[in-house]
Amino acid sequence: MSDARVTAYARLLVERCIDPEPGWQVLVATTTEARPLARELSRQLAGRGAYALTRISWGAAFPVDLDWIAAAPGELAASLPPLERRVLEEVDGTIFVLAPERDLPRLDDGGARAFRAHVSAYRDRGRAGEIPSVRCDFPCAAYADRAELTLAELEDVFYDACLRDWDEEGRRMQPVRERLDAAREVRIVGKGTDLRLSLDGRSALVDDGHLNVPGGEVFTSPVEDSLAGEILFDVPSHSTDGLVEEIRLRFEHGDVVEAAAAAGEPALLRALATDAGARRVGEFGIGCNSGITRPMRNVLFDEKMAGTIHLALGAGFPQLGGRNESALHWDLIKDLRGGGELQLDGVVVQRDGEWLP
């Protein structure tokens, strides 16, 4: 049974995110779980006169081959075949569709490092803005389980969040960006939360479905040593090694000085110990996607939820003035809808997740 939404989703990825010219070579990397979308992407790239270089793997968290990575000798495991490196140097666009299987194998430390090296190699040129690139999801059983929804329910939420009029969404988010650009100080107040941070000299960016799908956030990198106060992140979040809930952080001069979690605290502490930059914040973002109304334990969606804000521990965005460097970039989400305020330079601009005029 073909789902018209898959066609529309593929159109968004091909036409808005990549917008290929005839003769372009576009890498499509995904897993067997995303087969209907992979096939539709092939057809639509063909329709645009572009080549589809399809890389299908089994359902790893990122589409690379875990069997080989787990069995290859240390140094080799972390390196890409020279042929594939050349592919990545020459492609004109990349589409990464994540669709993991239910039972993902656990890699040992070496395997996990090799896996991260492969992911970076695939994503580097897109992240640096050299070529059009999109990283997105496909609704599959593993994501439905995680969101505690049936697959059909997940598909409804998923496509509602992704298949929007993104030009219109972009226009709607523009005033939020202007407010952030003009603001020097942000204060977030809510349950277990009173945190200040500075945006002085930093610029914000609107994600209107070009960089991520779904889009729907306005984000920037705060001044690194400005964070002061405490915050309770009430939306559960997956770190690289497990689910963490009810994270409490206290900041002084930009550094995390106290950290606790109701569940998964060891994973939180391991993440904070990644490197020096992991204890600082690289991103402050405001969720603006009104198609997402409840957390799905998938950060790509949860961070876009209208009425929430998020802070990312770790790497910032140099193109927005951010200076924090880290191998970590972990978005933690605070829901402001059940009693929270967002203040810019002392003025309340959002209360209980609703923007004030």
Partner 1 sequence: MAAVTEDPRPGRLAALLVERSLDVQPGWQVSVRATPLARPLVSEVAKAIARRGAYFLPRIHWGPDRFRTDLDWALEAPLELLSELPPIARHAIETEDARLTIRSPEDVHAGAELDPERRALLQRAMEPASRRARSLDVRWAVVQYPTEAAAAEARMTLPEFEDFVYGACLLDWDAEEQRMQRIKERFDGAVRVRIVGGETDLTLSVAGREGIVSSGLRNMPDGEVFYSPVEDSADGVIAYSEFPAVYLGHDVEGVRLVFREGRVVESSATRGEDFLRQVLSTDDGARRLGELGLGCNPRITRFTHNVLFDEKIDGTVHLALGGSYTYAGGKNESAVHWDMVKDLRPGGELFADGELVQRDGRWLI
How far apart (Å, rounded) are the C-alpha atoms in residues 255 and 248?
A: 13
Rank residues 55 and 135 by Cβ distance to partner 1 and give the closer one: 55
Of the candidates 54, 274, 290, 343, which one interacts with partner 1 according to CB under 8 A?
A: 54
Of 279, 248, 242, nearest in space to 262 by CA? 248
**Residue 142 identity:** A
The answer to whether the bond into 214 is cis (omega within 30° of 0) is yes
Rank residues 83 and 152 by Cβ distance to partner 1 and give the closer one: 83
Site string for partner 1, 75-114 (x = CB under 8 A): -xx--xxxxx-xx--xx-------------x---------
- Structural contact between residues 219 and 251, judged by C-beta atoms closer than 8 angstroms: no
Tell me how far apart the 2 most distant CA atoms of the chain are, in Å.
60
Rank residues 31 and 350 by Cβ distance to partner 1 and give the closer one: 31
56 binds partner 1 (CB under 8 A): yes
Stretch that binds partner 1, among 70-78, 130-138, 168-176, 235-243 (CB under 8 A): 70-78
In angstroms, what is the C-alpha Rg of the chain? 20
Residue found by looking up tokens 């409490």 in the block:
248
Min separation Cβ 49 and partner 1, Å: 5
Stated as kind and residue range, the H or E segment containing 300 is helix 299-302
Which neighbouring-strand residues pair with 93? 26
35 binds partner 1 (CB under 8 A): yes
Of the candidates 1, 4, 73, 108, which one interacts with partner 1 according to CB under 8 A?
A: 73
Of the candidates 16, 68, 243, 250, which one interacts with partner 1 according to CB under 8 A?
A: 68
45 binds partner 1 (CB under 8 A): yes
* Count of residues engaged in binding partner 1, rule: CB under 8 A: 42
In our burial notation (b when 16+ CB lie closer than 10 A, e otherwise), range 6-44 reads beebbebbbebbbebeeebebbbbbbebbebbbebbbeb
**Residue 133 identity:** S
Of the candidates 3, 16, 72, 141, which one interacts with partner 1 according to CB under 8 A?
A: 72
124 binds partner 1 (CB under 8 A): no
Of the candidates 47, 318, 338, 339, which one interacts with partner 1 according to CB under 8 A?
A: 47
- Structural contact between residues 307 and 335, judged by C-beta atoms closer than 8 angstroms: yes
Min separation Cβ 95 and partner 1, Å: 13
Site string for partner 1, 180-219 (x = CB under 8 A): ----------------------------------------
